[in-house]
Copies of this chain bind each other. A is one copy, B any other.
Amino acid sequence: MFLSKLMPLDDAQKIINTFTESTDVEEISLEEAYQRVNAQEIISTLNSPPFDRSAMDGYALLAEDSFGHSETNPFQLKVMDRIGAGQKSDLKLKPGEAIKISTGAPIPSGANAVVMEEFTHEEGDIIHVETSLTPGENVSPAGEDFNKGDTVLEKGKLLGPAELAIIASAGFDHVSVYKKPRIAVLITGSELVMPKKDLEGAEIINSNHFTIKSMVESCMAVPEMFHSIDDAQLVEERFNELLKDYDTLITTGGTAISKGDVVVDVAQKLGEVHVHGVSLRPGKPFGFAQVQGKPVFMLSGFPVAAMVQFDVFAREALLKMQGFKRNPLLVHKKAARKIASTLGRTDYIRARMEGEMVHPLKIKGSGIIRSMVESDSYIIIPENLEGIEEGDQCQILPYHSLKA
């Protein structure tokens, strides 16, 4: 039997933080690296671009040849060569000469500007140029983006389209990333069954199976799902097995605070319970333990409470294991009605954003899944506020910003 005072969120988060470590590093192909987190800074092996290149389709020339010229005072150049993208001219350009060039091709030796095709017309090997250019015009200089030896990406970045592009451009087709943590999810509850159309007796559909699985996936971690009836012996066996094989254990159910409850009791027996009961609504009956040196997140069996607890405690921890730290985007909107809270407790109120307003849902109850489907965000009422008046600016956490 484990009893405790409700713990403030910050304290619980700090404790969890001290017990979560990053996973091992593995090297993978850049082709597979989208939505992974790089475990090493990227130092470029190349200049990018690797040479002065043309930013336009046109003619490479000496800017000095064009000085003082215009549409009404054109000048002529002799076209010495024609190079497409991927080609390079070996000629050295002299005054009075031009080389036809495609976007991306290396600026020929001797040239220092590119005139766009539309400011010219060609007659045989001669072009008439109807504009003047400054040296460097329409030229992307070598190393404009970055140089060999530059750190182009810090470690711990979530690899998105731009990050993959810069790693590639730095010369790498492989990248070191943190391994995806393997998460055992143990859903407890004798009444729980998988979805079916005819329920019997006291059966309830195991919706947490789907919520927690997909929430783990939304943290880029790999869930494996298990179920146990409410039996201390069986739950204990499961703990021992799963903590041997997985990086982390997440449970649902058996976390009641007022008395001993199956899951928290097992965690206390096998390891150490560091958090049990937090001043969060919904989500008070949350537990965190370290067992066999591994973190165990004990969520409520109530679907909505479990989701909030996951978002508040497990989500950032699973990302941290992958070397990724971030601050989810908070927005501010006006409360469409008054919301009561209690000093010392943090509330996560399901809400719906609409323009500059946010509407707290009226549906209460930590079992009401519909309230999660109909909302798109949490209004967070921090513990130092007694509530929010109608029209007050409040802090909103859009569900979308929770996903990594």
Contact = CB atoms under 8 A, between A and B. Distances in A.
Interface of A: 30-31, 34-35, 45-46, 48-51, 53, 55, 57, 83-88, 102-106, 116-118, 140, 144-146, 152-153, 157, 159-173, 189-192, 194-197, 199, 201-215, 217-218, 229-230, 253, 256, 258-259, 261, 301, 303, 307, 329, 331, 365, 367-370, 372-373, 398-401, 403
A195 B211 contact: no
> For the complex formed by this chain, how many copies does it contain in all?
2
Contacts of A55: 365, 367
Given A88-B201, A202-B51, A162 B196 contact: no
Given A86-B191, A168-B206, A211 B161 contact: yes
Contacts of A53: 204
Interface-centre pick from A48, A53, A331 (highest chain B CB count, 10 A)? A48
Given A84-B190, A86-B189, A368 B144 contact: yes
Interface-centre pick from A103, A162, A204, A212 (highest chain B CB count, 10 A)? A162
A207 B166 contact: yes
A50 B145 CA distance: 62
B191 A104 contact: yes
Contacts of A140: 365, 367
A212 B164 CA distance: 10
A259 B117 contact: yes
A197 B329 contact: no
B307 A162 contact: yes
23 contacts: A50-B203, A51-B202, A55-B367, A83-B202, A86-B189, A86-B201, A86-B229, A87-B202, A118-B258, A144-B367, A145-B368, A152-B370, A153-B373, A159-B214, A161-B372, A162-B211, A165-B208, A166-B207, A166-B373, A168-B205, A169-B195, A329-B400, A400-B401
